[in-house]
Copies of this chain bind each other. A is one copy, B any other.
Amino acid sequence: MITLDPIGTVRSKYTDPSQVPKGTGAKHDAEGVLEIRPEFEAGLTDIEGYSHLYVLWIFDRAEGFHLMSQPPNADRPHGVFSTRSPHRPNAIGLTVVELLGRDGPRLRVRGLDMLDGTPIVDIKPYLSSIPVETLRRGWLGEAERRHS
């Protein structure tokens, strides 16, 4: 067991889960700010060189978990580890954002899908991509084909 202590906070235009685009075809192009606590600012050194970052954060407004869940546009329940459901055994979220710029401890980013005030626990560089042509996207790929 380990305990996480937030390194910062998301500043986002979303204040309620219903505002966050969900389901097949959802576009995540919302801009906002990752506000890092001043005592961690040195840890951002040289981050400007990256175009994209992984943000690890806490689903702080989700309670409990369900091993099976039915996401928007799914035609049946799927295992929680096959989904991005907030109701996970360990309520950690993962989002890839585009880094637009940095003002000291504030990172301006595009691609947020978190609520305003969400606690950030880690930031990592996005280093490599799986080529799209080798990616299989499971039940979500099927759902997208059904809805297209």
Contacts and interface: CB of A to CB of B under 8 A. Distances in A.
Contacts of A88: 122
Interface residues of A, number: 61
A100 interface: no
A83 interface: yes
Tell me the number of copies of this protein: 2
Contacts of A48: 138
3 nearest CB pairs, A to B: A49-B138, A45-B79, A129-B129
Given A82-B125, A84-B124, A94-B94, 20 more contacts: A1-B3, A1-B4, A5-B90, A7-B89, A42-B68, A43-B68, A43-B79, A43-B89, A44-B79, A46-B138, A48-B138, A50-B82, A50-B138, A84-B125, A92-B121, A96-B130, A125-B138, A125-B140, A128-B137, A129-B135
Interface of A: 1-7, 40, 42-52, 54, 56, 58, 60, 67-68, 77-84, 88-92, 94, 96, 121-132, 134-142
